């Protein structure tokens, strides 16, 4: 504790004077918003002046903090199913997910940058001198037109996914498909030949999609709102100063990381608050503990097919001494079918539930932040992945021995019962959950302290260009040394050809000499 206090005191000495910081929170989902909004609020509390373009407005006024409201994006996002056929209320395979991705980001950027209050902000933005821009690092490259309009202050990205190819390539972070699993494909870092084969194909398809779909679409939005006189979207994407990566090694795999990418751990873990009295009593009075079921902030329980909902309820009923909490958006829908040991609410204070000592298991869809919360509190998990990074995350918890994974197609009363029974009876799951919790918590300072220090470091050092790997300035053939290999191969070929020619001449001379000897 003394060491921690000393480190925090040293960090406090290395702060910067009040800076003007623009934070851009463009994705309409709590799991994407929370890390950036928490950073923005903490920076404001430390005396910096924050302007936040955000899909989620704060519940209360915050000093030094003003917002540009883009919360209308939630309605537009819900309408994407009618525009491009995408919805978070369906299950998607990896190819479907990666193919939808460029168009989801394109439609979000095009809609948000066209909002009247955003256009007004763009028109007047250069009236304030900004020292830094913070943005979600998820290919929102068209927003860099705004950064250019502000005079190109340093940019810090914040990832809301584990490491993946689309982010890695812009920071000089190697992506090797032999042992680094692609995010949407759902492999671990231990792959057999078949998995490495498909992982490699998916890796290069992702790179192809980035160059030929994502970048051109972002370029189109950039030119639409910022004109022809700004650098390309891809060029500006390469100029980020730093990326903060909340997914630490408790939730992702070891990989080489350049100095401009910082693993910091979860940024959204909250201090405990009292539970609502009904939930508090429900958990306190449980005979053998509680299991909590939630499909996260995007996928709704109402989107589950009736047979799958009933499968969970039938399985829960087989544990009469265990109580269940289920976040389900329309409470009345299941009223006549709910077993006595199941309490349903359309909203649950998830992090406060995790803190309760009688919580024994967490059933969920495999979202990154929910996984981080469960790990932090040492709770075993049953993952039912649906799309995006969820197969990746749930396989990680299986590999670590922290939980089990069940495909949605395989959900039946029997499979859910068997999985839950293992989680509740085999001690190794709890032991491994506590081990991973210790790993996540074992840091010199908190993730938020680390994030703030690095952000202020970038401001102090005017963009911290010394952290940027030179590999980002190399062309692809230079990066892979193809020009060097070509020269080496050319020299070897010339040497071999020369040797062949010399040998041929020598043999010719020798043969000629032998013929002359025989003639004489």
Type and span of the H or E element at 207: helix 193-209
Q: What letter does residue 211 receive in the DSSP assignment?
A: I
Question: Alpha-carbon distance 371 to 389, whole Å?
Answer: 11
pLDDT tens-place string over residues 273-327: 899 999 999 999 998 999 999 988 777 777 788 899 999 999 999 999 999 999 9
Question: Has residue 12 got a pLDDT over 70?
Answer: no
Query: What backbone phi and psi angles, to 5 degrees, belong to 79?
Result: -85, -5
* Residue 2 pLDDT: 47
* Residue 511 pLDDT: 77
Question: Has residue 379 got a pLDDT over 90?
Answer: yes
Q: What letter does residue 52 receive in the DSSP assignment?
A: E
**CA dihedral over 386, 389, 392, 398, signed as positive or negative:** negative
pLDDT tens-place string over residues 446-495: 999 999 999 999 999 999 999 999 999 998 899 989 999 999 999 999 99
Q: What is the band of 444 on the pLDDT scale with cuts at 50, 70, 90? A: very high
Strand-pair partners of 325: 292, 343
Nearest to 41 by CA among 14, 59, 17: 59
Question: Alpha-carbon distance 272 to 280, whole Å?
Answer: 13
CB 381 within 8 A of CB 397: yes
| Sheet-wide strand order for 49-54 | 65-69, 49-54, 20-25, 132-136, 155-158, 242-245, 261-263
Long-range contacts of 127-130 (CB under 8 A, 24+ apart): 128/20, 128/51, 129/20, 130/20, 130/21, 130/22, 130/51
Q: What is the band of 518 on the pLDDT scale with cuts at 50, 70, 90? A: low
Question: Has residue 120 got a pLDDT over 50?
Answer: yes
**CA dihedral over 163, 169, 171, 174, signed as positive or negative:** positive
Which residue has tokens 């408790």? 250
pLDDT tens-place string over residues 146-184: 999 999 999 999 999 888 888 888 999 988 999 999 999
SS (H, E, C) 324-339: EEEECCCHHHHHHHCC
Domains of the chain (ranges; CATH) run 12-265+445-473 (3.40.50.2000), 277-441 (3.40.50.2000)
DSSP characters for 63-108? Answer: TTEEEEE-TTHHHHHHTHHHHTS--TTS---HHHHHHHHHHHHHHH
Tokens of 340: 């006595």
* Residue 304 pLDDT: 83
pLDDT tens-place string over residues 62-114: 999 999 999 999 999 989 888 888 877 778 888 989 999 999 999 999 999 99
CB 182 within 8 A of CB 197: no
């Amino acid at each position: 504790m003394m060491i921690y206090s000393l480190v925090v005191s040293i960090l406090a000495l290395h702060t910067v004077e009040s800076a003007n910081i623009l934070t851009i929170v463009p994705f309409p989902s709590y799991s994407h918003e929370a890390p950036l909004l928490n950073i923005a609020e903490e920076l404001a509390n430390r005396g910096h002046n924050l302007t936040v373009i955000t899909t989620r407005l704060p519940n209360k006024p915050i000093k030094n903090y003003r917002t540009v409201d883009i919360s209308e994006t939630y309605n537009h996002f819900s309408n994407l199913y009618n525009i491009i056929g995408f919805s978070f209320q369906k299950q998607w395979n990896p190819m479907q997910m990666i193919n939808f991705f460029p168009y989801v980001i394109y439609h979000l950027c095009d809609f948000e940058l066209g909002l009247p209050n955003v256009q007004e902000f763009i028109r007047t933005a250069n009236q304030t001198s900004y020292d830094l821009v913070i943005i979600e690092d998820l290919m929102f490259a068209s927003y860099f037109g705004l950064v250019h309009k502000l005079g190109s202050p340093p940019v810090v990205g914040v990832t809301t996914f584990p490491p993946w190819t689309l982010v890695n390539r812009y920071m000089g972070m190697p992506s090797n498909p032999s042992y680094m699993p692609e995010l949407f494909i759902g492999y671990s870092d231990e792959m057999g030949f078949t998995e490495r084969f498909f992982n490699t194909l998916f890796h290069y398809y992702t790179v192809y999609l980035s160059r030929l779909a994502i970048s051109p679409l972002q370029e189109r939005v950039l030119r639409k709102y910022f004109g022809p006189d700004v650098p390309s979207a891809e060029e500006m994407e390469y100029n980020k100063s730093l990326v903060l990566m909340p997914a630490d090694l408790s939730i992702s795999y070891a990989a080489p990381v350049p100095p401009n990418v910082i693993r910091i751990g979860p940024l959204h873990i909250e201090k405990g608050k009292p539970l609502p009295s009904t939930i508090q009593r429900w958990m306190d009075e449980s005979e053998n503990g509680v299991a909590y079921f939630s499909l996260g902030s995007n996928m709704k329980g109402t989107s589950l097919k009736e047979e799958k909902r009933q499968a969970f309820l039938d399985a829960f009923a087989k544990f009469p001494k265990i109580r269940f909490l289920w976040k389900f958006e329309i409470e009345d829908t299941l009223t006549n079918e709910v077993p006595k040991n199941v309490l349903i609410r359309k909203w649950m204070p998830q992090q406060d539930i995790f803190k309760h000592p009688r919580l024994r298991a967490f059933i969920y869809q495999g979202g990154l932040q929910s996984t981080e919360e469960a790990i932090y509190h040492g709770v075993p998990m049953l993952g039912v992945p649906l799309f995006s990074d969820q197969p990746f995350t749930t396989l990680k918890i299986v590999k670590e021995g922290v939980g089990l994974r069940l495909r949605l197609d395989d959900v039946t009363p029997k499979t859910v019962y068997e999985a839950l029974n293992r989680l509740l009876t085999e001690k190794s799951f709890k032991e491994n959950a506590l081990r991973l919790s210790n790993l996540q918590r074992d840091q010199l300072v908190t993730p938020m302290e680390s994030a703030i220090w690095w952000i202020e470091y970038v401001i102090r050092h005017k963009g911290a260009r010394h952290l940027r790997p030179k590999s980002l300035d190399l062309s692809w053939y230079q990066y892979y040394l193809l020009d060097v290999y070509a020269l080496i191969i050319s020299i070897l070929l010339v040497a071999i050809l020369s040797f062949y020619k010399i040998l041929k001449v020598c043999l010719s001379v020798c043969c000629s000499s032998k013929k002359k000897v025989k003639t004489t």
